[in-house]
Amino acid sequence: AQTVTQSQPEMSVQEAETVTLSCTYDTSESNYYLFWYKQPPSRQMILVIRQEAYKQQNATENRFSVNFQKAAKSFSLKISDSQLGDTAMYFCAFLDPTGNQFYFGTGTSLTVIP
Amino acid sequence: DTGVSQDPRHKITKRGQNVTFRCDPISEHNRLYWYRQTLGQGPEFLTYFQNEAQLEKSRLLSDRFSAERPKGSFSTLEIQRTEQGDSAMYLCASSLDPHRYEQYFGPGTRLTVT
């Protein structure tokens, strides 16, 4: 079975600064997808960024980028120029090759301080 | 298209009662997923449909839970003889083949069993 671990329950960052959220996972699969989802307070989950395991290049989406280390089974999210609207719970997720089942971490609550 | 919708958004019920939730996926999305999210945890997979066929069920889905997607469009999740441990947020997501990894989440139904 796949497991996803987020070891930082809470983090905070000053507005306009950079913050990195950590995620590790365990799998015996070689081909899979990794995701970061954002869940603002009382709002629905939103996809932030995804990474295909077969791609060596790290994914980027505007201010969001990942550091994907396949051998280390590490998948961290870097948020640059943090904005107040980035305040949310962030979940790291693993999707198996069948694409049928997500495995989520326990989340990191990020607060952006003005 | 307004995205994935779920009804009701909140449900309070007494232990032992039956409850039913509805999920309307993004139109033409052939895949539909149900997750459960308890406080402080990430979403946990319950089951998924490809069109009207229920193809996978988690061990979390006890025999008190049943899900249907009769015409391959909306889906219902019923919980019979609710228990306090069923209190959680129930999330629905949908996706479209071949991009099944792009799951779009609904706002969830928060169930409180008293």
CB atoms within 10 A of CB A27: 17
If you average pLDDT over each of A1-5, B55-59, B64-68, which comes out highest? B64-68
Instruction: Supply the pLDDT for residue A78.
Output: 98
Q: Given an 8 Å threshold on Cβ–Cβ distance, is B40 in contact with A106?
A: yes
pLDDT > 90: percent of chain B:
68
pLDDT digits (tens, 9 = 90+) for A64-85: 999 999 999 999 999 999 999 9
Instruction: Tell me: pLDDT of B1 over 60.
Output: no
Position A2 scores a pLDDT of: 80
Quick check: A101 and B55 CB within 8 A? no
Looking at residue B100, its pLDDT comes to 67
User: Would an 8 Å CB–CB cutoff place A103 in contact with chain B?
Assistant: yes
Q: How many CA atoms lie within 13 A of A11 on its CB side?
A: 23
d(CA A85, CA A112): 8
Candidates A4, A37, A100; nearest CB to B56: A100
The answer, for A38 touching chain B at a CB cutoff of 8 Å, is: no
pLDDT of residue B62: 86
3-state secondary structure of B13: strand
Q: Residue A100, Cβ neighbours under 10 Å: how many?
A: 15
- Which residue positions in chain A have pLDDT lower than 70? none
- Give the ranges where chain B is alpha helix by DSSP (H): none
Q: What is the pLDDT of residue B98?
A: 66
Element at B109 (helix H, strand E)? strand B109-113
B59/B15: higher pLDDT: B15
Q: Give the long-range contacts of residues A66-72, CB within 8 A, separation 24 or more.
A: A66/A34, A66/A36, A67/A20, A68/A34, A72/A24
Q: What is the pLDDT of residue A66?
A: 97
